[in-house]
Amino acid sequence: MARVYNFSAGPAVLPESVLEEAAAEMLDYRGTGMSVMEMSHRSAAFQQIRDEAEADLRELMSIPGNYKVLFVQGGATMQFSAIPLNLKKSGVFDYVVSGSWSKKAFEEAGRFGDARCLASSKDGNFSYVPDVDALAYSSDADYLYICQNETIYGTRYPKLPECDAPLVADVSSCFLSEPIDVERYGVIYGGVQKNVGPAGMAIVVVREDLIPEDDLKDVPIMLQWRTYADNDSMYNTPPCYTIYICGKVFKWIKAQGGLEGMKKLNEEKATLLYDYLDSSTLFKPTARKEDRSLMNVPFVTESDELDAEFVKASKAAGLENLKGHRSVGGMRASIYNAMPQAGVEALVDFMRDFEASHA
């Protein structure tokens, strides 16, 4: 069977060349006589895999030396708890709620302190990002939290907040899609299953002075960033195969021209899709224009019945996972780094034909 164009929001499409390379190494990784899935995480072969992955990520993101890179199990959701537990001093946590994922993180932080919602776009069904220039920050906040790209609602921050507290950003669905200035953040983290690799891991990039120096006696050892920082993310058996695939994706991104190259490609794909949506009389994008994501593009027709018909027909045409999130309905095309231009072109062509047949 031919490969489909997979528009899933996560787990998501991976570069074909990465999958082919991993397949070729499945039974025998570079003469070791075993798969990466079988080898000891304490072996020299895996240590090299881990070290190269971190080195390539540091190069791609231009991560300064005073930031630690942590490969952490539990996905991004586990960090909803780890963030307030590791950064807690005053116990005041500022949040901007721009969608489902920042809402979940905000609610989780409330278990551990005084979580304050500075602004929310719930009144617009999260179709926009609150104005960061209008935020009234807490003077004693331990950090300010944002979800930089909301996967479900297809919005991203057009600019970052400016505040005295460390900025913490969930970048799960825009990770490595364009250059960022790491020094603007205290913590950058994301689950890798959307834009970087297989499910089961998060990457946390954290400024060293924000990692608690001492053991947090009331915090489980696996929720403490110090545990990972002091042990090169190998306090216990790490998600070895996920790190291995992520490492290959890092090298693939470097071969595409790094993050500048990825930004150019992603802008071209997003422009193609948004330009069609803006001209269509049948399909309508749902996110405010100035806040639109480059990665996740939600859209609707005039009715739920027509939405369902479109999803069914698109699947038959080899365009998979276009159904919108269960909480909002409609459709959503996730066009991550590994989605080729040809996939977006095929989607737009199909949408044109569908629109013509329903005029």
pLDDT band at 2 (very low <50, low <70, confident <90, very high): confident
Which pTM value belongs to this model? 0.96
Same domain, 214 and 289: no
Buried b vs exposed e over 156-182: b needs ≥16 C-beta within 10 Å?
bbeebbebebbbbbbbbbbbbbbebee
* Residue 359: per-residue pLDDT: 76
Same domain, 33 and 57: yes
Are the CB atoms for 11 and 193 separated by under 8 Å? Answer: yes
Same domain, 204 and 269: no
Same domain, 58 and 111: yes
| pLDDT above 70 for 1 | no
Considering the chain, what is the average pLDDT of its residues? 96
Q: How far is CA 14 from CA 3, 92, 210, 263, 278, in A?
A: 12, 39, 33, 17, 28
Task: Name the helix (H) or strand (E) containing 350.
Answer: helix 341-357
Distance between CA atoms of 359 and 25, rounded to whole angstroms? 50
Distance between CA atoms of 258 and 235, rounded to whole angstroms? 31
CATH number, domain with residue 345: 3.90.1150.10
* Residue 329: per-residue pLDDT: 86
- Which of 26-40, 234-248, 276-290, 319-333 has the least mean pLDDT? 319-333
pLDDT average, residue stretch 338-348: 98
Count of the separate structural domains present in the chain: 2
- Would you state the structure tokens that stand for residue 270, as one six-digit string? 């997003």
Phi and psi at residue 94, in whole multiples of 5°?
-90, 135
Rg (CA), the chain: 21
Same domain, 201 and 263: no
Same domain, 278 and 180: no
* Residue 114: per-residue pLDDT: 98
pLDDT digits (tens, 9 = 90+) for 92-137: 999 999 999 999 999 999 999 999 999 999 999 999 999 999 999 9
Distance between CA atoms of 308 and 331, rounded to whole angstroms? 9
pLDDT digits (tens, 9 = 90+) for 208-223: 999 999 999 999 999 9
Same domain, 248 and 269: no
The percent of residues in the chain predicted with pLDDT above 90, rounded, is 97
The residue among 255, 279, 308 that closes a domain is: 255
Give domain status of residue 3, yes or no.
Answer: no
Same domain, 131 and 181: yes
| pLDDT above 80 for 354 | yes
Which spans in 238-303 are helix H? 240-255, 258-279
Same domain, 177 and 52: yes
- Would you state the structure tokens that stand for residue 21, as one six-digit string? 């390379």
Same domain, 152 and 276: no
Crossing angle of helices 44-61 and 240-255, rounded to 10°: 40
- Would you state the structure tokens that stand for residue 335, as one six-digit string? 């066009």
The residue among 255, 273, 295 that closes a domain is: 255
Task: Name the helix (H) or strand (E) containing 191.
Answer: strand 187-191
Are the CB atoms for 166 and 185 separated by under 8 Å? Answer: yes
Same domain, 169 and 272: no
* Residue 303: per-residue pLDDT: 94
Same domain, 250 and 269: no
Give domain status of residue 11, yes or no.
Answer: no
Burial class from Cβ neighbours inside 10 Å (0-12, 13-18, 19+) for residue 69 reads buried
Residue whose entry in the numeric block shows the structure tokens 């500022």:
94
Which residues are annotated as catalytic? Answer: 101, 170, 194
Find the distance separating the first CA and the last CA of the chain, reported in whole Å. 33
- Which has the closest alpha carbon to 8: 311, 225, 288, 284? 311
| pLDDT above 80 for 235 | yes
The residue among 238, 255, 272 that closes a domain is: 255
- Would you state the structure tokens that stand for residue 159, as one six-digit string? 């600019």
